[in-house]
C-alpha cells in the first residue's frame, strides 16, 4: 500500500479500524502460507497463533526440530519472526559454524535457529525468566544440542543484579523487563556483564551478538569495554521505548560507529557490522 494512503487510513478513525482488520487478515494469510512450508502441521501452529489458553504444545518442523511453546499469540509470533522471517540475520554475512551470543533467549527460539539454520559451533544464551527458562532448557534437550548451547539463567546487565517482573502472565513473558511500570511484583535476578559472560565462556571472537532484552540493550552496549566490542563482528539489537530511549539510542549508535561498525536498521532492529577488512585486521593483531 502507498505510504500516503496508509497514513491517511491510520489517521481516520473509521478507516483505521478497517485498515487494522484488513491488515490482520492479510498477515494471517501470509503467515499460513509460510507456516505450511516450515511446520509439519500448519493448523497446529495457526491454532497456537490464535489461542490464549496457555497450554503447552510441541511444534514440529520439517527440518527436524521439536519446539515446545505455550499456546498464545506471543510465543507463536516470536517463532514466526525467528524461523519464518529470519528477522535477526537477514542481510548478515556470517561465516560457517559461527559463534553466537544470544541475550534475551526467551524459550530458546533463536538458540535453536542458530544451531539448526546457521550451523553454529557455539551459542551462549541468556534468559532471566524462570518460566521462559523452563521452556528454553526443554527445547535444548529436545534437540540434544547441550554440547553446542550453553544456557545461562541470568540477566545481562552492567554486572549488577536487577529487579524484574518475571512473574507476569505467560502471554506477557516476552516483555519481562527491569524497566517501565508493571502490575507484577518484581523479583531480584542475578546479573552478569557481557564482559564476564565472554570471559566465563572463553569467547575470543563472536560472530553475532543478538540482543532482545526489553530495554536492557542500552546499558549493555554502553558499558561493554571496547576490547570486548572489538571481538564482535556483528551486533543486532531491538531498541525499546523506555524512558529517555531517544538519547540512549543516539548515544549507542554513535558509540558503535566510533568502534568501527557500519549501522543499518529494519523496523525496531538495529544492525551493526564490522567491514570484513577491519575484522581481518583485528584477527591479525
**pLDDT tens digits for the chain (285 residues)?**
444 444 444 465 654 565 455 666 667 787 888 999 999 999 999 999 999 998 999 999 999 999 999 999 999 999 999 999 999 999 899 999 999 999 999 999 999 999 999 999 999 999 999 999 999 999 999 999 999 999 999 999 999 999 999 999 999 999 999 998 877 899 999 999 999 999 999 999 999 999 999 999 999 999 999 999 999 999 999 999 999 999 999 999 999 999 999 999 999 999 999 987 444 343 333
Residues in Cβ contact with 141 at an 8 Å cutoff, skipping those fewer than 6 apart: none
The candidate with the shortest Cα–Cα distance to 200, out of 248, 159, 141, 164, is: 159
**By the 8 A CB rule, do 101 and 220 touch?**
no
The count of other CB atoms within 10 Å of the CB of residue 55 is 12
The candidate with the shortest Cα–Cα distance to 117, out of 140, 139, 98, is: 98
CA 139 and chain centroid, separation: 16
- For 22, 171, 265, the CA distances from 55, given in Å and listed in that order, are 29, 11, 35
pTM to 2 decimal places: 0.88
The count of other CB atoms within 10 Å of the CB of residue 26 is 11
> What's the rounded Cα separation, in Å, for the pair 10 and 277?
45
**By the 8 A CB rule, do 191 and 156 touch?**
yes
- Residue spans of the domains in the chain: they are 86-284
User: Quick one: 86-284 is in which CATH superfamily?
Assistant: Vaccinia Virus protein VP39 (3.40.50.150)
Amino acid at each position: 500500500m502507498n505510504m500516503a494512503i496508509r497514513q491517511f487510513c491510520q489517521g481516520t478513525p473509521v478507516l483505521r479500524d478497517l485498515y487494522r482488520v484488513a491488515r490482520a487478515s492479510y498477515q494471517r494469510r501470509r503467515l499460513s502460507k509460510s507456516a505450511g512450508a516450515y511446520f509439519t502441521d500448519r493448523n497446529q501452529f495457526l491454532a497456537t497463533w490464535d489461542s490464549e489458553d496457555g497450554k503447552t504444545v510441541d511444534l514440529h518442523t520439517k527440518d527436524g526440530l521439536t519446539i515446545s511453546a505455550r499456546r498464545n499469540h506471543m510465543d507463536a509470533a516470536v517463532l514466526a519472526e525467528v524461523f519464518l522471517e529470519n528477522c535477526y540475520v537477514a542481510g548478515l554475512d556470517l561465516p560457517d559454524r559461527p559463534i553466537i551470543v544470544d541475550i534475551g533467549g526467551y524459550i530458546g527460539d533463536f538458540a535453536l535457529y542458530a544451531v539448526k539454520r546457521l550451523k553454529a559451533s557455539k551459542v551462549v544464551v541468556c534468559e532471566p525468566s524462570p518460566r521462559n527458562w523452563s521452556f528454553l532448557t526443554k527445547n535444548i534437550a529436545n534437540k540434544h544440542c547441550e554440547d553446542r548451547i550453553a544456557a545461562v539463567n541470568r540477566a545481562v546487565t552492567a554486572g549488577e543484579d536487577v529487579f524484574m517482573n518475571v512473574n507476569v502472565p505467560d502471554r506477557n513473558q516476552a516483555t519481562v523487563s527491569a524497566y517501565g511500570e508493571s502490575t507484577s511484583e518484581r523479583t531480584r535476578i542475578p546479573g552478569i556483564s557481557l564482559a564476564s559472560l565472554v570471559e566465563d565462556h572463553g569467547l575470543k571472537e563472536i560472530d553475532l551478538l543478538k540482543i532482545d532484552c526489553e530495554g536492557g540493550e542500552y546499558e549493555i552496549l554502553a558499558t561493554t569495554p571496547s576490547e570486548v566490542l572489538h571481538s564482535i563482528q556483528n551486533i543486532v539489537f531491538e531498541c525499546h521505548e523506555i524512558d529517555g530511549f531517544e538519547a540512549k539510542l543516539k548515544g549507542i549508535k554513535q558509540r558503535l560507529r566510533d568502534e568501527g561498525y557500519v549501522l543499518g536498521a529494519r523496523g525496531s532492529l538495529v544492525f551493526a557490522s564490522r567491514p570484513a577488512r577491519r575484522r581481518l585486521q583485528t584477527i591479525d593483531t
